[in-house]
Structure 1
């Protein structure tokens, strides 16, 4: 059995920023004020429904800071961040990789479904997130 190693503050920030960034990518794909409110509640519910290390990392501390310049800047931060988050967990807490992936994808899906169903742009964002969360060969 592999023993879970303690995550550094920087690693926790990477996991949290990537997860919240993924939610933001989906929300931003089909923007709107009322949609944003519904999507926030939907994402919160998905994140609150997890447990263990993933819940601890995603629900404690300050909210992460994401670039606000453009969607492209967010993508350039979030997608590599998701890949890094999976690598961190594979190395330090392999039993948490699947719960992390599932939580991020559940939150992204909940956001997309929260307001008038999944728009094409939201589906595309979820596909990027899914690819970024894929385990390396």
Structure 2
């Protein structure tokens, strides 16, 4: 029987994950530039409620935007499908589950505070940033477009 680690065990397979940034990721910056080019103004990382800090908010339209990384947030197209393996397998499974729960909680909190929420996958921004901008604009016009 495989012994599950109670604490993270450093492995060579996970070395590439060290030092990853949480804010101002490539897809976030790409989306911000495109929104700004369209004349939309926003604020970065504003806390709307305890436990709810979107990547950017458009205060004028009360739109909160979250740009979710495909790996970290469990994208249905690009997220991990295979079971976790290795000494940290249960820790990884738990972490991803907590990430999804936090995403749902953040969305609910923002909506309860009166904000329209747009959650955009990383691949949506890198694949067609104009479509991502259109989703944000639609939410600002009153037509919230959840993923």
State the TM bucket, normalised to the shorter chain: 0.3 to 0.5
Q: Compare the two structures and name the one with the higher strand fraction.
A: 2
Return the index of the structure with the highest Cα Rg.
2
TM-score where L is the length of structure 1: 0.33
Higher relative contact order (CA 8 A, sep 6+): 1
TM-score where L is the length of structure 2: 0.31
Q: Compare the two structures and name the one with the higher helix fraction.
A: 1
